[in-house]
Amino acid sequence: MKKIAVLTSGGDAPGMNAAVRAVVRTAIYNGLEVYGVYQGYKGLVENNIKKLEVGDVGGIINRGGTILYSARLPEFADPKVRQIAIKNLEKLGIDGLVVIGGDGSYRGAMELSNEMSIKTIGIPGTIDNDICCTDFTIGFDTALNTIVDAIDKVRDTASSHERAFIIEVMGRNAGDLALLAGIAGGSESLLIPEKREDISDIVSRIKAGEKRGKKHSIIVLAEGVMGGQVLAAQLKELTGEEIRCTILGHIQRGGTPSAMDRVLASRFGNYAVQLLLAEKSGRAVGIQNNRLVSTRFEDVFSNTHEVDLTIYDVSKQLSI
Ligand code: F6P
């Protein structure tokens, strides 16, 4: 292993920069040359690849987003498009590729590792925490803290106006962000795709809360369940009350990465390069019970990420 490349792909996540820094510095520490691929797979196809030095990743550990830029490239599913990318890597004499991203990015990485001799390792970077075989993904903790901060703020106004508020959070088809934010934000109701709740239960909760003199209600809704505005209209119809909805949107993807995300990303980046140095390929790094692990891409895809529903039960008991 002499030359490696690193790219970030799919939705950006706070902490991706810390992972890029860790890959670059671990590579250089171990005597490797390292290249940054700009704009994810798009940059791989368009040959937007530049050599990186230690200083190029200075001052980025605390920055959200990704200095390598990111893009979604559906065309990468086409083997002919991937061949262009492989040729570009071969021209530069790259032996190893680190892909930082979510499951869409992993699919590209898995195909590449099956089609070329260049070794490929994935690092889970997405706020959704929806990747199997790792307890946490880079960006999840920061996004979670952003959501909880928003819930605290919305609660102030919900309380002043004695209103119910829906807070719609990201997560694609996974409820992890909503679940943990619901617990940490002390929400009265929580809707996640993994545990469908009848709308009449939410109405009963709002009514029961009012009976006990509760002045407001916070409903945390995962985007994978339904749109917040639609739910607000339904609840208004059933309760006859004004229900407001706040869709947090992309603010959840930005901001300074939390200390936990920086540490996780640094460990993942370092471990990914260690795996390449050991000539491993076609694997994704992860963390399980605070231990670094690596899993074959095929196994990542043949297992499903599961949200911890015992936490859901805890939230039910605490939000009475
Ligand atoms: O995967 C990260 C994520 O932010 C999801 O939570 C969300 O559903 C999606 O990306 C939004 O994608 P885009 O930025 O392309 O609108």
95, 128, 176, 261: the catalytic one is 128
Confidence check: pLDDT of 164 > 80: yes
Query: Where do we find the tokens 């106006």?
Result: 161
Is 252 annotated in a binding site? The answer is yes
Bridge partners (DSSP) listed for residue 121: 98, 283
Across 123-149, b (16+ Cβ under 10 Å) vs e yields bbbbbbbbbbbbebbbbbbbbbbbbbe
Atom 7 (ligand 1) nearest CA: 172
Q: Is there a single domain that holds both residue 203 and residue 226? A: yes
| One domain, residues 13 and 122 | yes
Do 146 and 250 belong together in one domain?
A: yes
Q: In ligand 1, which atom is closest to the CA atom of 13?
A: 2
Domain that holds residue 282: 3-139+257-302
Report the pLDDT value the prediction gives residue 299, as an integer from 0 to 100. Answer: 97
Residue nearest to atom 8 of ligand 1 (CA): 172
Sign of CA dihedral 43, 44, 45, 49: positive
Helices (H), the chain: 16-29, 40-45, 79-92, 103-115, 140-161, 176-184, 199-211, 228-239, 259-277, 297-302, 309-318
Is residue 313, in this structure, part of any structural domain at all? Answer: no
DSSP 253: G
Same domain, 162 and 278: no
Task: Give CA–CA dist 17/69, Å, rounded.
Answer: 10
Protein residues whose CB sits closer than 6 Å to any atom of ligand 1: 11, 102, 126-128, 170-172, 223, 253
- Over residues 18-38, the mean pLDDT reads 98
* 249 and 265, same domain (yes or no): no
Assess whether pLDDT exceeds 80 at residue 215.
no
Residue 72 has pLDDT above 80, yes or no: yes
- DSSP, collapsed to helix, strand or coil, labels residue 17 as helix
> Checking DSSP bridges between strand 49-52 and strand 33-37, what pairing results, if any?
antiparallel
Q: Cα of 264 to ligand 1 centre, how many Å? A: 21
CA 258 to CA 254: how far, in whole Å? 11
- Does the active-site annotation cover 128? yes
Q: Nearest to residue 32, comparing CAs of 294, 284, 292, 270?
A: 270
Q: Are 109 and 297 in contact (CB under 8 A)?
A: yes
22 is in an annotated binding site: yes
What spacing in Å lies between the alpha carbon of 176 and ligand 1's midpoint? 14
Instruction: Return the exposure string of 15-25: e unless at least 16 CB atoms fall within 10 Å of the residue's CB, then b.
Output: bbbbbbbbbbb
Packed helices 309-318 and 176-184: angle between N→C axes, nearest 10 degrees: 30
Q: Is 192 annotated as a binding residue?
A: no
Q: Tens digit of pLDDT for each residue in 217-258?
A: 999 999 999 999 999 999 999 999 889 999 999 999 999 999
Single pTM value for the model? 0.97
Indicate if 38 and 107 belong to the same structural domain: yes
Rounded percentage of the chain residues whose pLDDT exceeds 90: 91
- Number of separate domains in the chain: 2
231 shares a domain with 167: yes
pLDDT band at 130 (very low <50, low <70, confident <90, very high): very high
pLDDT band at 78 (very low <50, low <70, confident <90, very high): very high
Q: 127: CA distance to ligand 1 center in Å?
A: 9
65: CATH: 3.40.50.450
pLDDT digits (tens, 9 = 90+) for 14-27: 999 999 999 999 99
305 is known to lie in a ligand binding site? no
Strand 217-222 to strand 164-169: parallel, antiparallel, or no bridges (unpaired)? parallel
pLDDT, mean over the chain: 96
- Indicate the SS3 state at residue 164: strand
